[in-house]
Amino acid sequence: MTKIEAKLEDIEKVAKINIGKNLKYYILTMGCQLNENDSEKLCGMIEKMNYTKTENLNDADLIVFNTCCVRENAEDRLFGKLGEVKKYKEEKGTIIAIGGCMMQEKHIVEKLKESYPFFDIVFGTHTLHKFPTDLYKIINNRKRIEDILDIDGEVIEGLPISREDNVKASVTIMNGCNNFCSYCIVPYVRGRERSRMPKDILTEIKNLAKMGYKEITLLGQNVNSYLRVEKEKNIEFEEYEGVNSFATLLQAINKIDGIERIRFISPHPKDFTDDVIEAICNCQKVCKLVHLPLQSGSTNVLKQMNRKYTKEQYLSLVKKMKAKIPNVTFSTDIIVGFPGETEEDFEDTLDVVRKVGFEQVYMFIYSRRVGTPGDKMENQIPEEIKHERFDRLKQLVESQIEARNKEYLGTIQKVLIEGKSKNNDNMLTGRTDSNKVVVLEGTESLIGKIVLVKITSEHMWYLKGKEES
C-alpha cells in the first residue's frame, strides 16, 4: 500500500465512526498563504471524515488551530484562543488539535504542555497527512498525540483538498527555505528547500482549470529558486513538458487552457534571473504585478539581515524590469526596526519606497524570534522608535497609494470577477492585473470572467467602476 493509500484508508475509518453523528469542525488559520493552503488540505481531509464546517467555536466537536510563528502577535493570539476553548473541552470533550509552524518550535510546545495541557493533537508542518491517523487514535483512546517530526520530511502528494474559493486557487510549488535571513524563523520550522515535481504541479493546475478555476497563485518561500537545490545537489527529478526551472514552469502553466491569470509569491530579489523576467514579459497570463520583498532599503541593514543584495542592486533590478516588462508594477514586504537600524538606514528605506512607487506595501515591525541570529543581536531598537518609524513609513505608503489610485481614474481595466461584494449583495468584486480590488454593479453570471471595467472613483483600499459595454 502506498503512503497516500494508507492515509485515505484512515480517513475512511474515521468517516465510518462519524457517520450520522452530524459532527462539526472549526478551523482558525494564522499567517501566510502557504498556511492557508495547508488548511485547505486539512479541511479536505476533515470534511471527508464527515465533519461539516462551523464558524462557531461552541458548536464544534473538533477545533483546529493552524498556527504561524513569523511574528510574536500570533503566539498571543493562540494562547488567547486556547484560554477560550478550555471550557468547551471540559464541558463536552471537544477534540483540540494544534498544528503549523509554531508547533515546530520546542519552547512553544513545552509552554503548551505546561499551561494548556488539555489539547489532544499537536502536528507540525510536515505531518499534515498524518492528521486522520492521529484523529483516529484520539477518538479510540484519547491519549494525547504529538506528531511533529523532522522539519525536512517528505511532502505527500494527492491529499484531498477543500478550497476556499471557486475562481482563485493557490498551489504550493516548493516547501522550506535555505536562505536564513537573520530575522526569520521559517528555515527552522519549515526545513530545507525542496520542490514539488513538475508533473505533480502541472497535473494539479490542469485539474483546477477543468474545475473552472481562472487564477493560480504559485506559493513557496522562495519561488524563483524552484528546482535549484535539486539541480545543485544532483537530486534526480523528472522534467515534464519542458519544466526544469521557475521560468519554464511559468511558460508551461501559461499554456494551460482555462487558466487566465498566474501570480506567484514570494520570489527573492537575489534569485531574480533574466529568464524569469523574460517569462513574465512573454507569458500573457502572468500578471505584471511583481511581489519583490525589499525588507530594508539600507545596504547596511540588508547585510545584517543576510539578504545578499544592496540597495543599489535592488533598485537596478526594479529598473531593469520596468524597462523590459510593459506596465509592470511592484508590491513588497518591509520590516522596520531591525537591530542596529539607524535613522539614516530608515531614510534609505523611505528613499527606495519613493523611488519604486509600490502598488502595495506589507509593513511589519521587527519581532524577535527565538533561535534566529537577529534575536541575539545586541543593538535591538526600542519599541517606541520602531512604532514611530512604522507610522512614518505607513504615511508615505498611504500617500503613494492615494496618488496611484488617482492614476486609475478613467482608465479601462481588465478585472477578474471573484464574487459578490461582502458588504453589498448587489455589487460584484474583482481584481485588476495589478491586484487592486474593484467593486462594480453586475450580475452573478460575470463571476469567474474577465470583464473590461472603466474606473469611476477611487478609495484607499479599492476602486469603483462600471462595466464597459
Of the pair 32, 256, the CB lying nearest ligand 5AD is at 32
Of the pair 23, 70, the CB lying nearest ligand SF4 is at 70
Of the pair 73, 316, the CB lying nearest ligand 5AD is at 73
Q: How far is the CB of 21 from ligand SF4 (least distance, A)?
A: 32
Contact 120, 81 (CB under 8 A): no
User: By rule CB under 6 A, what string of x and - marks binding of each residue 3-32 to ligand SF4?
Assistant: ----------------------------xx
Chosen residue from 366, 397, 458, 465 binding ligand 5AD by CB under 6 A: 366
Of the pair 357, 371, the CB lying nearest ligand 5AD is at 371
C-alpha atoms less than 13 angstroms from C-alpha of 467 in its C-beta half-sphere: 16
**Number of C-beta neighbours around residue 303 at 10 A:** 14
Q: How far is the CB of 317 from ligand 5AD (least distance, A)?
A: 16
Phi then psi for residue 299, to 5 deg, are -60, -40
HEC secondary structure over 309-357:
CCHHHHHHHHHHHHHHCCCCEEEEEEEECCCCCCHHHHHHHHHHHHHHC
Chosen residue from 79, 240, 364, 462 binding ligand 5AD by CB under 6 A: 364
Chosen residue from 126, 369, 431, 436 binding ligand 5AD by CB under 6 A: 369
**CA atoms of 246 and 279, how far apart (whole Å):** 9
Q: How far is the CB of 469 from ligand 5AD (least distance, A)?
A: 41
Q: How far is the CB of 300 from ligand 5AD (least distance, A)?
A: 18
Q: How far is the CB of 238 from ligand 5AD (least distance, A)?
A: 31
**CA atoms of 296 and 311, how far apart (whole Å):** 8
Query: Per CB under 6 A, which of residues 252..311 are in contact with ligand 5AD?
Result: 293, 295
Query: Per CB under 6 A, does 332 bind ligand 5AD?
Result: no
User: By rule CB under 6 A, what string of x and - marks binding of each residue 175-214 to ligand 5AD?
Assistant: --------xx------------------------------
**CA atoms of 172 and 27, how far apart (whole Å):** 20
Within 8 A by CB and 6+ apart from 450, the residues are: 214, 260, 414, 415, 416, 417
Contact 117, 141 (CB under 8 A): no
Q: Which stretch binds ligand 5AD (CB under 6 A): 40-48, 153-161, 268-276, 360-368?
A: 360-368
**Number of C-beta neighbours around residue 203 at 10 A:** 14
Residues in the chain: 469
- From 347, 460, 441, 355, select the one nearest 403 (Cα to Cα): 460
Using CB distances below 5 to 8 A depending on partner kind, what does residue 335 bind out of ligand SF4, ligand 5AD, none? ligand 5AD
User: By rule CB under 6 A, what string of x and - marks binding of each residue 63-82 to ligand 5AD?
Assistant: -------xx-----------
Region of residue 316 (left: phi > 0; alpha: psi -120 to 50; beta: else):
alpha
- From 121, 143, 116, 151, select the one nearest 45 (Cα to Cα): 121
Q: How far is the CB of 309 from ligand 5AD (least distance, A)?
A: 14
Chosen residue from 14, 49, 68, 96 binding ligand SF4 by CB under 6 A: 68
Using CB distances below 5 to 8 A depending on partner kind, what does residue 46 bind out of ligand 5AD, ligand SF4, none? none
Chosen residue from 23, 35, 42, 418 binding ligand SF4 by CB under 6 A: 35
Query: Per CB under 6 A, does 186 bind ligand SF4?
Result: yes
Q: How far is the CB of 35 from ligand SF4 (least distance, A)?
A: 4
- From 323, 316, 404, select the one nearest 357 (Cα to Cα): 404
**CA atoms of 267 and 178, how far apart (whole Å):** 13
Helix/strand/coil percentages in the chain, nearest 5: 40, 20, 35
Query: In the structure grid, which three cell numbers stand for residue 244, read together?
Result: 526544469
Rounded to the nearest 10 degrees, the angle between the axes of helix 246-254 and helix 198-210 is: 30
Query: Per CB under 6 A, which of residues 426..465 are in contact with ligand 5AD?
Result: none
- Ranges of beta strands (E only) in 19-87 are 23-29, 51-53, 62-67
**CA atoms of 444 and 421, how far apart (whole Å):** 11
Using CB distances below 5 to 8 A depending on partner kind, what does residue 190 bind out of ligand 5AD, ligand SF4, none? ligand SF4
Using CB distances below 5 to 8 A depending on partner kind, what does residue 94 bind out of ligand SF4, ligand 5AD, none? none
Query: Per CB under 6 A, which of residues 96..125 are in contact with ligand SF4?
Result: 101
Of the pair 87, 111, the CB lying nearest ligand SF4 is at 111
Using CB distances below 5 to 8 A depending on partner kind, what does residue 172 bind out of ligand 5AD, ligand SF4, none? none
Residues binding ligand 5AD (CB under 6 A): 32, 70-71, 183-184, 293, 295, 333, 335, 364, 366-367, 369
* Interface contacts to ligand SF4, rule CB under 6 A: 31-32, 34-35, 68-70, 101, 186, 189-190
